[in-house]
Structure formats: C-alpha cells, structure tokens
Amino acid sequence: MLRILTPGHPVWRTFIDTGLAMLVVAVSAFFSYTAFTNRAGVAENKAVIIRPRVINKVWIEPSTISSGGSFKVHINATINEVCPGETHWSIIRTSDNVEVARTVELTHPVKLGINDLTITRRVPDTAVPGSYYYVVTVYEFCGPERTTYTAVTPHVPFTIR
C-alpha cells in the first residue's frame, strides 16, 4: 500500500492524466459557455424597446347613445416619445363585426408623460340599435428609420338605442 503513494508508481500517472483531462474539460466548458452565452446575449441584451405611446385606459361616456348622437372618448396614455402618426377610430357592430364608422386622422398633440385626452365622436345616423364596440389604433412613425409602432386600445363596449 505504501508503494502506491510513491511518486514513481504508475497510479500517479493515472491521477495526473485524469486531473489534466478534467481540467481540459472544465476550461472547454467555460469557454464554450461564455461563447454561446455572449452570442445569445446579443439578441437578449439588445436595448429594450420602449414604445412611444402606451394606452393605459379607455372609456366612453355615456355608455348608451342614441343613433346620430355624440359621445366622449376618454383616453389615458403614457407618451414616451412624441412622434408623428395617424389614428384610426372605428365603431364596430358586435353581432356581425361590421365596421359602421371609421375615421382616420393625424394624432392629437400630446406632451411627454401621462396624458388624459377627451375627444368627442358622433354615432352615424344610419346605425341601428344594438350592441357595439369602439376601438382605436394609433400608428406612430419614430426615429430616423421611421419605425412604425402600433398601439391598439381594448374594445370598449357601448349600446345604441
């Protein structure tokens, strides 16, 4: 047994070979992990895209409107960047998803930060009584490449009597 512990014994050569092999594996694993993590990290660690407009809440008043009547749309939005754009407003009949009215206009003037907008809209005279929803889609064109950002409101239900 004492002969195994002497430096000239063949078991030491096995210990050294095994130790060097484990070191090579550990170093290889470290470098491959670093290489693949950096490659994947480039995609994951890109600058976080902050949308220029985040629509927090939308509601309309009154929730029951007569045909041809007007209503107010209240929008609470956070503006992170002021960009030119256009707004698409639609009134859609719930029963068959037919668009009853649509308006396309330039975006309303806003300031950076939280904005509370109130816009008056009108229901067409031809709208029949029933259940409808109101939706807004905002297209903004920001930056030197004119990147298009889209913000869509949730459907806001209302009734036409």
* CATH T-level topology, domain 53-160: Immunoglobulin-like (2.60.40)
Average pLDDT over residues 102-123: 90
Q: For the beta carbon of residue 155, count every other beta carbon within 10 angstroms.
A: 14
pLDDT of residue 153: 84
Parallel, antiparallel or unpaired: strands 64-65 and 156-160: parallel
Q: What tens digit of pLDDT does each residue of 43-98 get?
A: 555 566 678 888 899 899 998 999 999 999 999 999 998 888 899 999 999 999 99
Cα–Cα dist 112/77, whole Å: 10
| Confidence class for position 41, pLDDT limits 50, 70, 90 | very low
Indicate whether 1 pLDDT > 60.
no
Q: What's the whole-number mean pLDDT along residues 105-112? A: 88
- Enter the tokens of residue 133: 């929803």
Written in H, E and C, the secondary structure of 41-83 is HHHHCCCCCCCCEEEEEEEEECCEECCCCEEEEEEEEEECCCC
Q: Give me the residue spans of the domains in the chain.
A: 2-44, 53-160
Q: What does the pLDDT average to over 141-160?
A: 86
What percent of the chain is modeled with pLDDT above 70? 85
Residue 104 has pLDDT above 90, yes or no: yes
Mean pLDDT of 129-144: 90
